[in-house]
Amino acid sequence: MSNFSPPPGTSDIFPEEISLWHRLEDVARRVFPLYGYREMRTPVFEYTEVFRRGIGDETEVVQKEMYTFEDRGGRSLTLRPEGTAGIMRSLSGTDVMNGNEKRVYYIGPMFRGERPAAGRRRQFHQIGAENAGRVSPELDAESIALLLHYLDELGITGYRLLLNTRASGEDRKPAEDSLRAYFANHVPGMCPDCKNRLERNVWRILDCKQEQCRVFIEKVPDIAGLLGEPSRKYFEKVCSSLSAMNIPFEVDSRLVRGLDYYVHTVFEVTHPGLGAQNAIAGGGRYEIFAPESRKPIVGVGFAAGLERLLMAQEALSVKAPQPENSPAVFLIGLGENAISENMKLASRLRKAGISAITEVEQKSMKASMRAANRIAAKFAVIRGDNEISRGTLVLKNMSDGAQSEIGSEPQSLMDCLKKAEAIAKD
């Protein structure tokens, strides 16, 4: 590791890559409002209890991956490992608790202390959407439709939508009993965490990543038929709503997802271009308890990992349109007076919406032109004592080297730039 590297599992995003990120964000800001969602921002850290209670004490995320610290006031705080619990902590003080619907989306960094690998970061970024307040299978299907609409607009094709139900409340019981009976036969081969999960939260075993446990998890009997009738009906309605919208999906009865707040519908979108960490997005219906709240907040939503969306786009050779990054004008002053006049001129240009960079050091003409080339300026403006005394500027077109002397008033420069731009566009 070099001294210049950021901490493991984090990355710098350089100006050359930023347009790809902006595109992911811009498309979300365009598509999500079509479904009535508005952007919301919550803190990057929360009271630890928000995640322990919201996501569930038994989950890998809470047990092993949270960045938790005590602040100077002795409060236990945690960098958010995901967005839903914080958003629901915030909305649980509003009328969504009375069944009024709220549709929000968020974009930002999340933090999980996982072992870094391709597509698995310690600081990663999510775009998520939450529809809180109401319970309806149609809303679950619509949340999925929004996610897929977003992926389509990003040019991401070839994904798979995996769907399952975790059922709700008592409807889970027969399936849970059957799972417990099955896993009870495999205790000797289990990792210590799963031995604990057997009594405390048997569903979490399905999500264990340990090789020794995967062997018998893969052979788990299909429990879908054991779920109670109301939950099965709910799930059938989600499936038929998706089919009505022509959305293909695959039911995967082992999909439980890694967070404990899910009830009813859970889903994941995977992409073959990603390797082992192949989930580009995941979500589902949930009931989340904010700290000290007796009543859960209900909702449905999803989050997509931006790093993984970029990987999918790269695998598909989707190119983001390159925005114009190079400055329009580089101002070179030969002498102190010329530099100070150039500073004033640059400020006028910028206020008129023309990007400009001033060379603030006195350099040779050759060195200044090299600097203009390095930043790929479209025009150079050159001014020395002669030009100052004549009230003129030299304007050089950097693409063809053509040079002309023009009046030094900002307006004549702006007129010339406009004319040159019009010619270049023809």
Q: Are 302 and 143 in contact (CB under 8 A)?
A: yes
Task: Tell me whether strands 403-407 and 392-397 are parallel, antiparallel or unpaired.
Answer: antiparallel
Alpha-carbon distance of 64 to 351, in angstroms, equals 51
Q: Which of 107, 167, 227, 303 binds ligand HAM (CB under 6 A)?
A: 303
What CA–CA distance (Å, rounded) separates 116 from 10?
Answer: 9
Cα separation, 390 vs 149, in Å, equals: 61
- Interface with ligand HAM includes 112 (CB under 6 A)? yes
Collapsed DSSP state (helix, strand, coil) of residue 230:
helix
For residue 83, the surrounding DSSP H or E stretch is: none
Burial class (CB in 10 A: 0-12, 13-18, 19+), 110: buried
Which of 24, 238, 280, 334 touches ligand HAM (CB under 6 A)?
280
Closest CB to ligand HAM among 119 and 333? 119
d(CA 227, CA 172): 6
114 is an interface residue for ligand HAM by CB under 6 A: yes
Report the alpha-carbon distance of residue 315 to residue 176 in Å, rounded: 39
Residue 348 backbone dihedrals phi, psi, to 5 degrees: -65, -45
Do the strands 45-47 and 68-70 form a parallel or antiparallel pair, or are they unpaired? Answer: unpaired
Q: Which one among 307, 341, 359, 387 touches ligand HAM, defined by CB under 6 A?
A: 307
Nearest distance from C-beta of residue 415 to ligand HAM, angstroms: 50
Q: Which lies closer to ligand HAM via its Cβ, residue 254 or residue 363?
A: 254
Q: Does 286 bind ligand HAM (CB under 6 A)?
A: yes
Neighbours of 403 (CB within 10 A): 11
Q: Whole-angstrom Cα distance, residue 397 to residue 375?
A: 14
User: Of residues 247-276, which lie at the interface with ligand HAM (CB under 6 A)?
Assistant: 258-259
Cβ at position 280, least distance to ligand HAM in Å: 5
Question: Measured from the CB atom, is 306 or 329 closer to ligand HAM?
Answer: 306
Number of residues that bind ligand HAM (CB under 6 A): 28
- Tell the smallest beta-carbon distance from residue 172 to ligand HAM (Å): 18
Between 249 and 330, CB nearer to ligand HAM: 249
- Report helix, strand or coil for 20: helix
The mark string for 118-157 relative to ligand HAM (x by CB under 6 A, - otherwise) is -xxx--x-x-x-x---------------------------
Closest CB to ligand HAM: residue number: 305
- Chosen residue from 32, 51, 289, 302 binding ligand HAM by CB under 6 A: 302
Stretch that binds ligand HAM, among 18-26, 42-50, 297-305, 411-419 (CB under 6 A): 297-305
| Comparison of 303 and 332: residue with beta carbon closer to ligand HAM | 303
Contact 285, 263 (CB under 8 A): yes
What are the residues binding ligand HAM (CB under 6 A)?
82-84, 112, 114, 119-121, 124, 126, 128, 130, 258-259, 279-284, 286, 301-305, 307-308
